[in-house]
Amino acid sequence: MSIPVWAQLAYLAAAVCFILALKGLSGPKTARNGNIIGAVAAVVACAIPFFYLDLDHVPLILVAIAVGTAGGVYGARTVQMTQMPQMVALFNGVGGGAAALVALLELHEITSGAGDEPGWFILLATAFTILVGSVSFAGSVITFAKLQELMTSRPVVFPGLPVVFGLALIGALVLGGLLIGDAGNGSGMSAGIVLALLGLLVGVLLVLPVGGADVPIVISLLNAFTGLTVAAGGYVLSNTLLLVAGTLVGASGTFLTLLMAGAMGRSVANIMFGALKGGSTLGSGVASDRPVKSAGAEDIAILLAYAERVIIVPGYGLAVAQAQHTLRELVDVLTARGIEVDYAIHPVAGRMPGHMNVLLAEAQVPYEQLKEMDEINGEFKNADVVLVVGANDVVNPAAKTTPGAPIYGMPILNADEAKQVIFMKRSMRPGFAGIENELLFEPTTTLFFGDAKESLGKLLNAVKAQ
Protein backbone atom coordinates (compact mmCIF):
# COMPACT_ATOMS: atom_id res chain seq x y z
CA MET A 1 0.00 0.00 0.00
CA SER A 2 1.38 3.39 -0.96
CA ILE A 3 1.89 5.94 1.81
CA PRO A 4 -0.33 9.07 1.51
CA VAL A 5 1.40 12.39 0.94
CA TRP A 6 0.34 13.74 4.34
CA ALA A 7 1.83 10.72 6.06
CA GLN A 8 5.07 11.07 4.11
CA LEU A 9 5.29 14.72 5.15
CA ALA A 10 4.63 13.75 8.77
CA TYR A 11 7.37 11.10 8.58
CA LEU A 12 9.71 13.70 7.07
CA ALA A 13 8.96 16.11 9.94
CA ALA A 14 9.63 13.33 12.47
CA ALA A 15 12.93 12.51 10.75
CA VAL A 16 13.97 16.17 10.97
CA CYS A 17 13.02 16.14 14.66
CA PHE A 18 15.27 13.10 15.20
CA ILE A 19 18.17 15.01 13.67
CA LEU A 20 17.40 18.06 15.85
CA ALA A 21 17.15 15.79 18.90
CA LEU A 22 20.56 14.30 18.24
CA LYS A 23 21.99 17.78 17.83
CA GLY A 24 20.38 18.88 21.08
CA LEU A 25 21.82 15.93 22.96
CA SER A 26 25.33 17.07 22.03
CA GLY A 27 25.30 19.83 24.67
CA PRO A 28 24.21 19.97 28.33
CA LYS A 29 22.14 23.14 27.94
CA THR A 30 20.07 21.73 25.07
CA ALA A 31 20.01 18.03 26.05
CA ARG A 32 16.65 18.12 27.85
CA ASN A 33 14.89 19.84 24.93
CA GLY A 34 16.60 17.51 22.48
CA ASN A 35 15.34 14.50 24.42
CA ILE A 36 11.78 15.87 24.44
CA ILE A 37 11.86 16.62 20.69
CA GLY A 38 13.04 13.08 19.95
CA ALA A 39 10.41 11.52 22.23
CA VAL A 40 7.57 13.52 20.68
CA ALA A 41 8.76 12.61 17.18
CA ALA A 42 8.83 8.92 18.13
CA VAL A 43 5.25 9.10 19.47
CA VAL A 44 4.05 10.82 16.29
CA ALA A 45 5.85 8.26 14.12
CA CYS A 46 4.19 5.37 15.99
CA ALA A 47 0.73 6.99 15.74
CA ILE A 48 0.78 7.77 11.99
CA PRO A 49 0.14 4.18 10.73
CA PHE A 50 -3.13 4.02 12.70
CA PHE A 51 -4.57 6.75 10.48
CA TYR A 52 -3.81 5.42 7.00
CA LEU A 53 -3.38 1.65 7.30
CA ASP A 54 -6.12 -0.93 7.67
CA LEU A 55 -4.49 -2.64 10.63
CA ASP A 56 -5.41 -6.06 11.97
CA HIS A 57 -5.34 -6.95 15.68
CA VAL A 58 -5.48 -3.31 16.80
CA PRO A 59 -6.37 -4.21 20.42
CA LEU A 60 -3.27 -6.42 20.70
CA ILE A 61 -1.12 -3.65 19.22
CA LEU A 62 -2.49 -1.14 21.73
CA VAL A 63 -1.89 -3.56 24.60
CA ALA A 64 1.69 -4.08 23.44
CA ILE A 65 2.22 -0.30 23.24
CA ALA A 66 0.74 0.14 26.74
CA VAL A 67 2.97 -2.59 28.20
CA GLY A 68 6.05 -1.15 26.50
CA THR A 69 5.22 2.37 27.66
CA ALA A 70 4.68 1.25 31.25
CA GLY A 71 7.95 -0.71 31.21
CA GLY A 72 9.86 2.21 29.74
CA VAL A 73 8.49 4.74 32.23
CA TYR A 74 9.10 2.42 35.17
CA GLY A 75 12.65 1.66 34.02
CA ALA A 76 13.53 5.30 33.39
CA ARG A 77 12.19 6.45 36.78
CA THR A 78 13.64 3.66 38.93
CA VAL A 79 17.02 2.95 37.35
CA GLN A 80 19.94 4.15 39.42
CA MET A 81 22.58 6.32 37.79
CA THR A 82 25.16 3.56 38.29
CA GLN A 83 22.94 1.15 36.36
CA MET A 84 22.32 3.42 33.38
CA PRO A 85 24.70 1.47 31.09
CA GLN A 86 22.82 -1.76 31.84
CA MET A 87 19.54 -0.10 30.90
CA VAL A 88 21.05 1.24 27.68
CA ALA A 89 22.31 -2.26 26.84
CA LEU A 90 18.92 -3.84 27.55
CA PHE A 91 16.93 -1.28 25.55
CA ASN A 92 19.42 -1.52 22.70
CA GLY A 93 19.09 -5.30 22.65
CA VAL A 94 15.31 -5.02 22.49
CA GLY A 95 15.65 -2.74 19.46
CA GLY A 96 17.91 -5.17 17.64
CA GLY A 97 15.68 -8.13 18.48
CA ALA A 98 12.57 -6.27 17.31
CA ALA A 99 14.23 -5.42 13.98
CA ALA A 100 15.16 -9.09 13.47
CA LEU A 101 11.60 -10.25 14.24
CA VAL A 102 10.10 -7.72 11.83
CA ALA A 103 12.48 -8.91 9.12
CA LEU A 104 11.45 -12.53 9.78
CA LEU A 105 7.79 -11.56 9.43
CA GLU A 106 8.54 -9.82 6.13
CA LEU A 107 10.43 -12.91 5.00
CA HIS A 108 7.38 -15.03 5.87
CA GLU A 109 5.24 -12.86 3.58
CA ILE A 110 7.82 -13.21 0.81
CA THR A 111 8.03 -17.01 1.11
CA SER A 112 4.24 -17.35 1.32
CA GLY A 113 3.88 -15.66 -2.06
CA ALA A 114 2.10 -12.56 -0.76
CA GLY A 115 2.91 -9.41 -2.71
CA ASP A 116 5.26 -8.87 -5.63
CA GLU A 117 8.47 -10.81 -6.09
CA PRO A 118 11.21 -8.86 -4.23
CA GLY A 119 14.52 -7.90 -5.77
CA TRP A 120 17.80 -9.37 -4.57
CA PHE A 121 18.71 -6.19 -2.68
CA ILE A 122 15.52 -6.37 -0.61
CA LEU A 123 16.40 -9.96 0.27
CA LEU A 124 19.95 -8.91 1.12
CA ALA A 125 18.63 -6.20 3.45
CA THR A 126 16.26 -8.73 5.03
CA ALA A 127 19.04 -11.25 5.67
CA PHE A 128 21.28 -8.50 7.05
CA THR A 129 18.55 -7.32 9.44
CA ILE A 130 17.88 -10.84 10.72
CA LEU A 131 21.55 -11.62 11.29
CA VAL A 132 22.81 -8.35 12.73
CA GLY A 133 19.66 -7.75 14.76
CA SER A 134 20.07 -11.17 16.37
CA VAL A 135 23.75 -10.47 17.06
CA SER A 136 22.84 -7.16 18.69
CA PHE A 137 20.11 -8.75 20.83
CA ALA A 138 22.24 -11.63 22.14
CA GLY A 139 25.35 -9.49 22.61
CA SER A 140 23.38 -6.83 24.50
CA VAL A 141 21.94 -9.44 26.85
CA ILE A 142 25.47 -10.63 27.69
CA THR A 143 26.70 -7.06 28.27
CA PHE A 144 23.73 -6.49 30.57
CA ALA A 145 24.56 -9.66 32.50
CA LYS A 146 28.22 -8.65 32.86
CA LEU A 147 27.47 -5.12 34.09
CA GLN A 148 24.66 -6.30 36.37
CA GLU A 149 27.06 -8.94 37.78
CA LEU A 150 24.69 -11.75 36.85
CA MET A 151 27.79 -13.39 35.41
CA THR A 152 31.52 -12.79 35.73
CA SER A 153 32.77 -9.53 34.27
CA ARG A 154 36.08 -11.15 33.39
CA PRO A 155 36.74 -12.34 29.82
CA VAL A 156 35.19 -15.76 29.21
CA VAL A 157 37.38 -17.79 26.86
CA PHE A 158 37.36 -21.53 26.22
CA PRO A 159 39.50 -23.72 23.94
CA GLY A 160 38.22 -23.57 20.41
CA LEU A 161 36.21 -20.37 20.87
CA PRO A 162 37.79 -18.68 17.82
CA VAL A 163 37.02 -21.77 15.72
CA VAL A 164 33.40 -21.95 16.88
CA PHE A 165 32.98 -18.21 16.36
CA GLY A 166 34.48 -18.39 12.87
CA LEU A 167 32.36 -21.38 11.85
CA ALA A 168 29.19 -19.73 13.17
CA LEU A 169 29.96 -16.54 11.27
CA ILE A 170 30.76 -18.40 8.05
CA GLY A 171 27.61 -20.49 8.46
CA ALA A 172 25.55 -17.32 8.91
CA LEU A 173 26.99 -15.79 5.75
CA VAL A 174 26.31 -18.98 3.77
CA LEU A 175 22.75 -19.11 5.04
CA GLY A 176 22.29 -15.46 4.15
CA GLY A 177 23.35 -16.29 0.61
CA LEU A 178 20.94 -19.23 0.46
CA LEU A 179 18.14 -17.02 1.75
CA ILE A 180 18.77 -14.49 -1.01
CA GLY A 181 18.84 -17.20 -3.67
CA ASP A 182 15.95 -19.39 -2.47
CA ALA A 183 13.59 -16.96 -0.72
CA GLY A 184 10.85 -17.77 -3.18
CA ASN A 185 11.06 -21.48 -2.35
CA GLY A 186 9.83 -23.22 0.77
CA SER A 187 13.33 -23.31 2.29
CA GLY A 188 13.60 -19.51 2.57
CA MET A 189 11.80 -19.19 5.91
CA SER A 190 13.70 -22.12 7.41
CA ALA A 191 16.96 -20.51 6.35
CA GLY A 192 15.84 -17.25 7.99
CA ILE A 193 15.08 -18.94 11.32
CA VAL A 194 18.39 -20.79 11.37
CA LEU A 195 20.13 -17.53 10.39
CA ALA A 196 18.57 -15.82 13.42
CA LEU A 197 19.72 -18.64 15.70
CA LEU A 198 23.26 -18.43 14.33
CA GLY A 199 23.12 -14.67 14.86
CA LEU A 200 22.27 -15.25 18.52
CA LEU A 201 25.26 -17.59 18.83
CA VAL A 202 27.60 -15.10 17.14
CA GLY A 203 26.37 -12.33 19.47
CA VAL A 204 27.10 -14.40 22.58
CA LEU A 205 30.54 -15.50 21.38
CA LEU A 206 31.38 -11.93 20.31
CA VAL A 207 30.88 -10.47 23.80
CA LEU A 208 31.98 -13.31 26.10
CA PRO A 209 35.75 -12.63 25.64
CA VAL A 210 35.35 -8.92 26.50
CA GLY A 211 36.34 -7.85 30.01
CA GLY A 212 34.06 -5.71 32.17
CA ALA A 213 36.15 -2.56 31.74
CA ASP A 214 35.53 -2.68 27.99
CA VAL A 215 31.85 -3.63 28.04
CA PRO A 216 30.64 0.02 27.66
CA ILE A 217 32.51 0.20 24.35
CA VAL A 218 30.81 -3.00 23.25
CA ILE A 219 27.44 -1.48 24.18
CA SER A 220 28.20 1.45 21.90
CA LEU A 221 29.25 -0.90 19.08
CA LEU A 222 26.10 -3.01 19.46
CA ASN A 223 24.09 0.20 19.47
CA ALA A 224 25.58 0.97 16.06
CA PHE A 225 24.63 -2.55 14.94
CA THR A 226 21.04 -1.96 16.02
CA GLY A 227 20.94 1.33 14.13
CA LEU A 228 22.13 -0.39 10.97
CA THR A 229 19.48 -3.11 11.33
CA VAL A 230 16.76 -0.49 11.77
CA ALA A 231 18.01 1.32 8.66
CA ALA A 232 18.03 -1.92 6.67
CA GLY A 233 14.57 -2.74 8.02
CA GLY A 234 13.39 0.67 6.87
CA TYR A 235 14.55 -0.20 3.36
CA VAL A 236 12.73 -3.55 3.51
CA LEU A 237 9.51 -1.84 4.70
CA SER A 238 9.93 1.14 2.34
CA ASN A 239 9.81 3.40 5.39
CA THR A 240 12.01 6.47 5.02
CA LEU A 241 11.69 7.42 8.68
CA LEU A 242 13.16 4.12 9.86
CA LEU A 243 15.92 4.49 7.29
CA VAL A 244 16.84 7.96 8.56
CA ALA A 245 16.55 7.07 12.26
CA GLY A 246 18.58 3.89 11.87
CA THR A 247 21.28 5.68 9.92
CA LEU A 248 21.54 8.34 12.64
CA VAL A 249 21.88 5.71 15.37
CA GLY A 250 24.33 3.64 13.36
CA ALA A 251 26.55 6.61 12.51
CA SER A 252 26.52 8.10 16.02
CA GLY A 253 27.12 4.68 17.62
CA THR A 254 30.09 4.02 15.35
CA PHE A 255 31.55 7.46 16.02
CA LEU A 256 31.10 7.04 19.80
CA THR A 257 32.72 3.59 19.70
CA LEU A 258 35.80 4.98 17.97
CA LEU A 259 36.00 7.93 20.40
CA MET A 260 35.76 5.64 23.44
CA ALA A 261 38.38 3.27 22.07
CA GLY A 262 40.65 6.24 21.38
CA ALA A 263 40.11 7.50 24.94
CA MET A 264 41.37 4.13 26.17
CA GLY A 265 44.32 4.17 23.78
CA ARG A 266 43.34 0.92 22.06
CA SER A 267 41.78 -0.26 18.83
CA VAL A 268 38.27 -1.67 18.62
CA ALA A 269 39.73 -4.96 17.33
CA ASN A 270 42.01 -5.23 20.37
CA ILE A 271 39.08 -4.56 22.70
CA MET A 272 36.85 -7.16 21.05
CA PHE A 273 39.38 -9.91 20.35
CA GLY A 274 42.39 -9.18 22.58
CA ALA A 275 41.49 -11.94 25.05
CA LEU A 276 41.51 -14.53 22.25
CA LYS A 277 45.24 -13.92 21.78
CA GLY A 278 45.97 -14.61 25.42
CA GLY A 279 45.59 -11.02 26.60
CA SER A 280 43.00 -9.71 29.00
CA THR A 281 41.21 -6.51 29.68
CA LEU A 282 41.47 -7.24 33.39
CA GLY A 283 44.41 -7.83 35.69
CA SER A 284 44.58 -10.06 38.75
CA GLY A 285 42.21 -8.00 40.87
CA VAL A 286 44.09 -8.91 44.07
CA ALA A 287 44.19 -6.29 46.83
CA SER A 288 47.69 -4.98 47.59
CA ASP A 289 49.27 -5.36 51.04
CA ARG A 290 52.00 -2.76 50.40
CA PRO A 291 52.22 0.01 53.02
CA VAL A 292 50.53 3.33 52.21
CA LYS A 293 50.09 6.67 53.94
CA SER A 294 46.56 7.26 55.21
CA ALA A 295 44.86 10.01 57.20
CA GLY A 296 41.55 10.99 58.74
CA ALA A 297 39.07 13.71 57.85
CA GLU A 298 40.63 16.36 60.13
CA ASP A 299 44.11 16.04 58.60
CA ILE A 300 42.76 16.17 55.06
CA ALA A 301 40.61 19.18 55.94
CA ILE A 302 43.79 21.03 56.97
CA LEU A 303 45.39 20.23 53.59
CA LEU A 304 42.33 21.59 51.78
CA ALA A 305 42.18 24.69 54.01
CA TYR A 306 45.70 25.75 53.00
CA ALA A 307 45.19 25.00 49.29
CA GLU A 308 44.63 27.68 46.67
CA ARG A 309 43.91 25.34 43.75
CA VAL A 310 41.99 22.06 44.12
CA ILE A 311 41.01 19.63 41.38
CA ILE A 312 38.37 16.93 41.95
CA VAL A 313 38.61 13.65 40.00
CA PRO A 314 35.24 11.83 40.24
CA GLY A 315 34.80 8.18 39.33
CA TYR A 316 32.48 5.21 39.49
CA GLY A 317 32.84 4.91 43.27
CA LEU A 318 31.24 8.35 43.62
CA ALA A 319 28.26 7.13 41.59
CA VAL A 320 27.93 3.88 43.53
CA ALA A 321 27.88 5.74 46.86
CA GLN A 322 25.49 8.42 45.49
CA ALA A 323 27.82 10.97 47.07
CA GLN A 324 27.58 13.68 44.40
CA HIS A 325 25.41 15.98 46.53
CA THR A 326 27.83 15.84 49.49
CA LEU A 327 30.75 16.48 47.14
CA ARG A 328 29.03 19.53 45.65
CA GLU A 329 28.39 20.89 49.15
CA LEU A 330 32.07 20.42 50.03
CA VAL A 331 33.13 22.22 46.86
CA ASP A 332 30.71 25.06 47.61
CA VAL A 333 32.29 25.53 51.06
CA LEU A 334 35.81 25.56 49.57
CA THR A 335 34.80 27.97 46.81
CA ALA A 336 33.18 30.33 49.34
CA ARG A 337 36.58 30.52 51.07
CA GLY A 338 38.29 31.67 47.87
CA ILE A 339 39.73 28.30 46.82
CA GLU A 340 39.63 27.64 43.08
CA VAL A 341 37.99 24.24 42.46
CA ASP A 342 37.32 22.34 39.23
CA TYR A 343 36.20 18.83 38.34
CA ALA A 344 38.43 16.85 35.97
CA ILE A 345 36.29 14.58 33.76
CA HIS A 346 37.89 11.64 31.97
CA PRO A 347 36.08 10.55 28.77
CA VAL A 348 35.41 7.05 30.16
CA ALA A 349 35.03 7.90 33.86
CA GLY A 350 32.16 5.90 35.29
CA ARG A 351 30.79 3.36 32.84
CA MET A 352 29.92 5.43 29.78
CA PRO A 353 30.84 8.79 28.24
CA GLY A 354 28.98 11.58 30.01
CA HIS A 355 28.27 9.42 33.08
CA MET A 356 30.06 11.81 35.45
CA ASN A 357 28.64 14.89 33.72
CA VAL A 358 25.08 13.67 34.23
CA LEU A 359 25.78 12.55 37.79
CA LEU A 360 27.21 15.94 38.79
CA ALA A 361 24.51 17.84 36.90
CA GLU A 362 21.99 15.95 39.04
CA ALA A 363 23.67 17.57 42.06
CA GLN A 364 23.36 21.04 40.46
CA VAL A 365 27.12 21.37 39.91
CA PRO A 366 27.74 24.38 37.60
CA TYR A 367 28.72 23.00 34.21
CA GLU A 368 31.52 25.59 33.99
CA GLN A 369 33.34 23.70 36.77
CA LEU A 370 33.44 20.48 34.71
CA LYS A 371 36.67 20.36 32.72
CA GLU A 372 37.37 17.71 30.08
CA MET A 373 40.69 15.86 30.16
CA ASP A 374 42.38 17.78 27.34
CA GLU A 375 41.36 21.08 28.90
CA ILE A 376 42.57 20.42 32.45
CA ASN A 377 45.51 18.03 32.11
CA GLY A 378 47.99 20.90 31.89
CA GLU A 379 46.70 22.38 35.16
CA PHE A 380 47.46 19.47 37.49
CA LYS A 381 51.04 20.64 37.99
CA ASN A 382 49.66 23.88 39.43
CA ALA A 383 47.19 22.16 41.76
CA ASP A 384 47.90 22.17 45.48
CA VAL A 385 45.56 19.22 46.10
CA VAL A 386 43.91 16.68 43.83
CA LEU A 387 40.98 14.90 45.47
CA VAL A 388 40.30 11.54 43.75
CA VAL A 389 36.81 10.30 44.66
CA GLY A 390 36.03 6.77 43.56
CA ALA A 391 38.28 6.81 40.49
CA ASN A 392 41.34 4.65 39.91
CA ASP A 393 42.27 3.54 36.40
CA VAL A 394 41.82 7.02 34.90
CA VAL A 395 44.68 8.35 37.09
CA ASN A 396 46.88 5.23 37.04
CA PRO A 397 50.40 6.12 35.79
CA ALA A 398 50.76 2.54 34.50
CA ALA A 399 48.97 3.79 31.40
CA LYS A 400 52.12 5.79 30.63
CA THR A 401 54.89 3.79 32.29
CA THR A 402 54.08 0.06 32.12
CA PRO A 403 54.05 -1.57 28.67
CA GLY A 404 51.92 -4.69 28.74
CA ALA A 405 49.52 -3.33 31.37
CA PRO A 406 45.83 -3.67 30.36
CA ILE A 407 45.47 0.11 30.29
CA TYR A 408 48.86 0.94 28.74
CA GLY A 409 48.46 3.68 26.15
CA MET A 410 45.18 4.96 27.57
CA PRO A 411 45.24 8.75 28.03
CA ILE A 412 44.87 9.52 31.73
CA LEU A 413 44.38 12.51 33.99
CA ASN A 414 47.78 13.75 35.19
CA ALA A 415 46.91 13.65 38.88
CA ASP A 416 50.43 12.40 39.67
CA GLU A 417 51.80 15.86 38.75
CA ALA A 418 49.96 17.61 41.61
CA LYS A 419 51.67 18.69 44.85
CA GLN A 420 49.38 16.54 47.00
CA VAL A 421 46.93 13.77 46.11
CA ILE A 422 44.09 12.69 48.38
CA PHE A 423 42.81 9.27 47.30
CA MET A 424 39.39 8.28 48.62
CA LYS A 425 38.94 4.49 48.40
CA ARG A 426 36.96 1.77 50.11
CA SER A 427 39.95 -0.58 50.25
CA MET A 428 43.21 -1.42 48.55
CA ARG A 429 41.47 -3.48 45.88
CA PRO A 430 42.45 -2.32 42.38
CA GLY A 431 40.18 -0.56 39.92
CA PHE A 432 38.12 -2.13 37.16
CA ALA A 433 41.22 -2.94 35.13
CA GLY A 434 42.41 -5.12 38.00
CA ILE A 435 45.96 -3.72 38.34
CA GLU A 436 47.79 -1.83 41.07
CA ASN A 437 47.94 1.93 40.93
CA GLU A 438 51.47 3.11 41.75
CA LEU A 439 50.09 6.56 42.51
CA LEU A 440 48.74 5.13 45.78
CA PHE A 441 52.28 4.51 47.01
CA GLU A 442 53.81 7.87 46.10
CA PRO A 443 55.01 10.04 49.03
CA THR A 444 52.70 12.85 47.89
CA THR A 445 49.61 10.61 48.12
CA THR A 446 47.41 10.25 51.19
CA LEU A 447 44.63 7.67 51.34
CA PHE A 448 41.28 8.26 53.01
CA PHE A 449 39.54 4.90 53.41
CA GLY A 450 35.78 4.42 53.59
CA ASP A 451 32.52 4.72 51.69
CA ALA A 452 32.65 7.84 49.51
CA LYS A 453 29.44 9.36 50.86
CA GLU A 454 30.30 8.72 54.49
CA SER A 455 33.89 9.91 54.06
CA LEU A 456 32.85 13.06 52.22
CA GLY A 457 30.35 13.79 54.99
CA LYS A 458 33.10 13.55 57.59
CA LEU A 459 35.40 15.68 55.46
CA LEU A 460 32.69 18.29 54.95
CA ASN A 461 32.10 18.58 58.69
CA ALA A 462 35.85 18.82 59.34
CA VAL A 463 36.26 21.59 56.73
CA LYS A 464 33.33 23.54 58.18
CA ALA A 465 34.95 23.27 61.63
CA GLN A 466 38.19 24.88 60.41
Annotated active-site positions, please? 393
Residue by residue, what is the 3-state secondary structure of the chain?
A: CCCCHHHHHHHHHHHHHHHHHHHHCCCCCCHHHHHHHHHHHHHHHHHCHHHHCCCCCHHHHHHHHHHHHHHHHHHHHHCCHHHHHHHHHHHHHHHHHHHHHHHHHHHHHHHCCCCCCCCHHHHHHHHHHHHHHHHHHHHHHHHHHHHCCCCCCCCCCCCCHHHHHHHHHHHHHHHHHHHHHHCCCCHHHHHHHHHHHHHHHHHHHHHCCCCHHHHHHHHHHHHHHHHHHHHHHHHHCCCHHHHHHHHHHHHHHHHHHHHHHHHCCCCHHHHHHHHHHCCCCCCCCCCCCCCCCECCHHHHHHHHHCCCEEEEEECHHHHHHCCHHHHHHHHHHHHHCCCEEEEEECCCCCCCCCHHHHHHHHCCCCHHHEEEHHHHHHHHHHCCEEEEECCCHHHCCHHHHCCCCCCCCCCCCCHHHCCEEEEEECCCCCCCCCCCCHHHHCCCEEEEECCHHHHHHHHHHHHHCC
